[in-house]
Structure 1
Amino acid sequence: MTDPTARVHELNLYRRYFDLVAAGTKTIEVRVKYPHLADLAAGDTIRFRIKGTDETCEVRVERVTEYSDFEALLDHEGPANVNPTATRDQQLGDIRAIYGPEKEALGVLAVEISRSKPPRG
């Protein structure tokens, strides 16, 4: 039986992170708590797309946890779950290069994901 409240969210993802998600080795996606993600919930589907391509990868949202900042997220979720190919400090720098302090101030989300379908493209 399907959950009638589950939704599909379309989100862009950089190639290096897309490949980790597609391989099933990245299990925590980091996002800023933008208004359009306020209703993201367990059971939803995220369809990641590499911008400008037809490549997609679908995942199931297992859990969404809010943190005050990226450091707290990495400390609690574990850097290896966010990006198993980079150290905690590298990840913190990479995440803050994507999201400036004004975005981090909105709150950050750790989205636990699991692969649901093979990548397409």
Structure 2
Amino acid sequence: MSHRTARVHELNLYRQYFELVSSGRKTTEVRVKYPHLADLATGDTIRFRIKDTDETCDVNVLCVTEYDSFEALLDGEGPANVNPTATRDQQLANIRTIYGPEKEALGALAIKIELIAS
């Protein structure tokens, strides 16, 4: 039986999404299935940072689920968990503005998170 050591991953977030995470309102983070996230797993910590600032917040990774598209991810996870302030269609448009079709073709990750109390 092998035991895996939990890791800390540092990821940037836009301020509007950082505020939702740091308040505990955003419980699912959306990412492209990049190779550097292949080892992301339950029990890991993500340290979110607003790019070019010292503002951070840490979350526990509760679950990582792979999807073929952002549309399937939103339908599977529920848009309110990804962004409680926007409709599904607004979220899909926003995500696709951040990640173009060539990125979406890599696959999408839904990362269920829980804010770590500071």
Task: State the AA in 1 paired with 2:34.
Answer: Y
Secondary structure of the structure 2 residue equivalent to 1:85: coil
Deviating 4+ runs (over 6 angstroms):
none
Secondary structure of the structure 1 residue equivalent to 2:43: coil
1:78 CA drift (Å): 0.2
Alpha-carbon RMSD across the aligned residues, in angstroms, is 1.0
1:117 CA drift (Å): 3.1
Deviations 1:67-97 (A, max 9, x none): 0000000001000000000000000000000
Task: State the AA in 1 paired with 2:99.
Answer: Y
Deviations 1:6-58 (A, max 9, x none): 00000000000000000000000000000000000000000000001000000
**Counterpart for residue 93 of structure 2:** 93
Instruction: Judge conservation of contact 1:61–1:111 (CA < 8 Å) in 2.
Output: yes
Percent of aligned pairs sharing the same letter: 76
Q: Partners in 2 of 1:117 and 1:95 — Cα distance?
A: 27
Instruction: List runs of 5+ in structure 1 lacking aligned partners.
Output: none
TM-score by length of 1: 0.94
Q: What is the number of residues matched between the two proteins?
A: 116
Q: Partners in 2 of 1:4 and 1:106 — Cα distance?
A: 26
TM-score by length of 2: 0.96
Q: Partners in 2 of 1:36 and 1:17 — Cα distance?
A: 21
Q: Partners in 2 of 1:110 and 1:40 — Cα distance?
A: 11
1:4 CA drift (Å): 5.5
1:5 CA drift (Å): 1.1
Task: State the AA in 1 paired with 2:103.
Answer: K
Secondary structure of the structure 2 residue equivalent to 1:117: coil
Instruction: Judge conservation of contact 1:59–1:116 (CA < 8 Å) in 2.
Output: yes
Task: State the AA in 1 paired with 2:22.
Answer: A
Secondary structure of the structure 2 residue equivalent to 1:95: helix
